[in-house]
Structure 1
Amino acid sequence: MRVIVAEKPKVANKIAYALGITKRRAFQRRVSVYEDSNNVVIPAVGHIFKLKSSVKGYGYPVFDISWEEAHKVDKRAYYTKPYIEAFKSYSKEADSIVVATDYDNEGSLIGYNVARFIFKGVEPERMKFSTLTAGELKKAYENREGFDYGNAVAGETRHMVDWFYGINLSRALMQAIKTTGKFRIMSIGRVQGPALAITSRKEEEIGAFIPEPFWTLSIEIKGQKFTYEGGNIKDEEKAKELYKKIGKEATIVEVKEEEKDVYAPPPFDLTSLQVEAYRVFKISPAKTLQLAQVLYESSLISYPRTSSQKLPPSIGFKKILEKLREHNKSYSKEAEELLSKGGKLWPRQGRKEDAAHPAIYPTGVKPTSLEGEEKKLYELIASRFVALFMPPMKRITTQVKAETNKLLFKAEGTRVAEKGWSRAVEHLYQQKEKEIVEFKEGERHKIDKKGKKKEMTKAPPRYSEASLVKELEKKGLGTKATRAVVISTLFARRYLFKGPGGIHVTDLGMSVYKILSKHVPEIMSEELTRDIEASLEEITEKPDKQKKVLDKTKKVLTKILEKFREDEKEIGKEFVDALSSMREKAIAYSKKKK
Structure 2
Amino acid sequence: MPKRIVIVESPTKAKTINKFLGSKFTVRSSMGHVRDLPANKLAVNVEKDFEPEYRIMPKRREMVKSLKAEVKDADEVYLAPDHDREGEAIAWHLCQALDIPDKKARRVVFNEITEEAIKNAFEHPVGIDMDKVNAQQARRILDRLVGYKISPLLWKKITKGLSAGRVQSVAVRLLVEREKEIRAFKPVEYWNIVARLRSKGARDKGFEAKLWKQEDSEVQIGNEAAAAGLVETLKDSKYIVGVISKQRKLNKPLPPFTTSQLQQQAAIQLNFSTKRTMLVAQQLYEGVELKGGPMGLITYMRTDSYNVSKEAVTACRRLIPGMFGDGYLPQKPNYYAARKGAQQAHEAIRPTSVEIIPESIKQYLTRDQHRLYELIWRRFVASQMTPAEYETIDVTINAGSYKFKAKGKMIVFPGHNILTESIQEEPLPDVQEGEELKLIELVPSQHFTEPPPRYTEASLVKILERKGIGRPSTYSVIISTIQDRGYVQRENKTLHPTELGILVTEKLVKHFPKVLNVEFTSHMEEELDKVEEAKLDWVGVLREFYTPFQEDLKSAVEEMESEKVTPEGTDIKCGKCGSPMVVRWSRAGKFLGCSAFPKCKFTMDIGGNNKPRTAEATGEVCEKCGSPMVIKAGRMGRFLACSAYPECKNAKSLPTGVKCPKEGCGGDVVQRRSKRGRRFYGCSNYPKCNFTAFKLPEGSAAASPD
* Fold-level similarity (TM above 0.5): yes
CA contact (8 A) 2:11 2:29 kept: yes
CA displacement 1:506-531 (0-9 Å, x = unmatched): 11111112222233333421122112
CA gap of 1:320–1:419, structure 2 versus 1, over 3 A, is: closer
> What is the alpha-carbon distance in structure 1 between the residues aligned to residue 111 and residue 566 of structure 2?
50
TM-score (norm 2): 0.73
CA gap of 1:452–1:229, structure 2 versus 1, over 3 A, is: same
Matched residue of 2:389: which SS? strand
CA contact (8 A) 1:95 1:122 kept: no
CA displacement 1:253-273 (0-9 Å, x = unmatched): 111111111111111101111
CA gap of 1:48–1:232, structure 2 versus 1, over 3 A, is: farther
> What is the alpha-carbon distance in structure 1 between the residues aligned to residue 614 and residue 36 of structure 2?
43
Which of 70, 76, 79 does residue 99 from structure 1 map onto?
A: 79
Aligned to 2:538: 546
Query: Larger C-alpha radius of gyration, 1 or 2?
Result: 2
Which of 185, 192, 207 does residue 224 from structure 1 map onto?
A: 207
CA gap of 1:519–1:61, structure 2 versus 1, over 3 A, is: farther
> What is the alpha-carbon distance in structure 2 between the residues aligned to residue 219 and residue 166 of structure 1?
59
Output the amino acid matched with 1:143: H
State the shift of 1:91 in Å.
3.9
CA gap of 1:142–1:65, structure 2 versus 1, over 3 A, is: closer
Aligned to 2:309: 312
1:284 matched to 2:273? yes
> What is the alpha-carbon distance in structure 2 between the residues aligned to residue 186 and residue 55 of structure 1?
17
CA contact (8 A) 1:103 1:129 kept: yes
State the shift of 1:104 in Å.
0.4
CA gap of 1:175–1:121, structure 2 versus 1, over 3 A, is: farther
Which of 108, 119, 122 does residue 88 from structure 2 map onto?
A: 108
TM-score (norm 1): 0.86
State the shift of 1:354 in Å.
2.1
Matched residue of 1:359: which SS? coil
> What is the alpha-carbon distance in structure 1 between the residues aligned to residue 17 and residue 324 of structure 2?
30
Matched residue of 1:89: which SS? helix
Percent same amino acid at aligned positions? 27
CA contact (8 A) 2:303 2:349 kept: yes
State the shift of 1:88 in Å.
0.7
Output the amino acid matched with 1:464: T
CA contact (8 A) 1:105 1:152 kept: yes
Which of 231, 245, 250 does residue 261 from structure 1 map onto?
A: 250
Matched residue of 2:70: which SS? coil
> What is the alpha-carbon distance in structure 2 between the residues aligned to residue 349 and residue 435 of structure 1?
32
State the shift of 1:297 in Å.
0.5
CA contact (8 A) 1:317 1:345 kept: no
Aligned to 2:53: 66
State the shift of 1:337 in Å.
4.8
1:15 matched to 2:17? yes
CA contact (8 A) 1:395 1:414 kept: yes
Aligned to 1:51: 37
Matched residue of 2:137: which SS? helix
Which of 215, 223, 233 does residue 220 from structure 2 map onto?
A: 233
Output the amino acid matched with 1:317: V
Aligned to 1:293: 282
Aligned to 1:203: 179
Matched residue of 1:362: which SS? coil
Aligned to 2:451: 459
Aligned to 1:82: 62
Which of 346, 352, 355 does residue 357 from structure 1 map onto?
A: 346
CA gap of 1:344–1:2, structure 2 versus 1, over 3 A, is: farther
> What is the alpha-carbon distance in structure 2 between the residues aligned to residue 514 and residue 164 of structure 1?
20
> What is the alpha-carbon distance in structure 2 between the residues aligned to residue 297 and residue 316 of structure 1?
19
Matched residue of 2:605: which SS? helix
Aligned to 1:591: 615
Structure with the higher helix share, 1 or 2: 1
1:524 matched to 2:522? no
Aligned to 2:399: 404
Which of 274, 285, 291 does residue 263 from structure 2 map onto?
A: 274
Aligned to 1:251: 240
CA displacement 1:295-340 (0-9 Å, x = unmatched): 0011000000000122131x43334666xx6xxxxx895367589x
Structure 1 residues 116-515: aligned runs within 5 Å:
116-123=96-103, 124-177=105-158, 184-222=160-198, 223-230=206-213, 233-236=220-223, 239=227, 242-246=230-234, 247-298=236-287, 299-313=296-310, 315-319=311-315, 333-334=322-323, 337=326, 346-352=333-339, 353-364=342-353, 366=356, 367=361, 369-425=364-420, 431-500=423-492, 502-515=494-507
Segments of structure 2 that go 5 or more residues without pairing to the other structure are: 199-205, 288-295, 569-582, 593-603, 607-611, 617-630, 633-706
Matched residue of 1:417: which SS? strand
CA displacement 1:148-182 (0-9 Å, x = unmatched): 222122112211111111222112211334xxxxx
> What is the alpha-carbon distance in structure 2 between the residues aligned to residue 207 and residue 262 of structure 1?
38
CA contact (8 A) 1:48 1:84 kept: yes
CA displacement 1:57-101 (0-9 Å, x = unmatched): 9xx999674111011xxxxxx2x2333123210343345433211
CA displacement 1:206-226 (0-9 Å, x = unmatched): 111111111222322112211
Matched residue of 1:145: which SS? coil
State the shift of 1:242 in Å.
4.2
Matched residue of 1:308: which SS? coil
Matched residue of 2:323: which SS? helix
CA gap of 1:449–1:234, structure 2 versus 1, over 3 A, is: closer
Aligned to 2:293: none
> What is the alpha-carbon distance in structure 2 between the residues aligned to residue 399 and residue 419 of structure 1?
21
CA gap of 1:157–1:590, structure 2 versus 1, over 3 A, is: farther
Output the amino acid matched with 1:258: Q
CA contact (8 A) 2:156 2:562 kept: no
The count of aligned residue pairs is 551
Comparing 357-366 and 375-384, the one that deviates more:
357-366
Comparing 200-209 and 229-238, the one that deviates more:
229-238
CA displacement 1:346-371 (0-9 Å, x = unmatched): 23425423223110110117446113
CA gap of 1:141–1:495, structure 2 versus 1, over 3 A, is: same
> What is the alpha-carbon distance in structure 2 between the residues aligned to residue 255 and residue 433 of structure 1?
18
> What is the alpha-carbon distance in structure 2 between the residues aligned to residue 148 and residue 240 of structure 1?
72
Structure 1 residues 555-574: aligned runs within 5 Å:
555-570=547-562, 573=565
- Looking at both structures, which has the greater relative contact order when contacts are Cα pairs under 8 Å and sequence separation is at least 6? 1
State the shift of 1:546 in Å.
1.4
> What is the alpha-carbon distance in structure 1 between the residues aligned to residue 331 and residue 393 of structure 2?
36
CA gap of 1:497–1:114, structure 2 versus 1, over 3 A, is: same
Matched residue of 2:171: which SS? helix
Output the amino acid matched with 1:69: I
CA contact (8 A) 2:154 2:160 kept: no
Output the amino acid matched with 1:312: S
Matched residue of 1:482: which SS? helix
Segments of structure 1 that go 5 or more residues without pairing to the other structure are: 23-35, 72-77, 178-182, 326-330
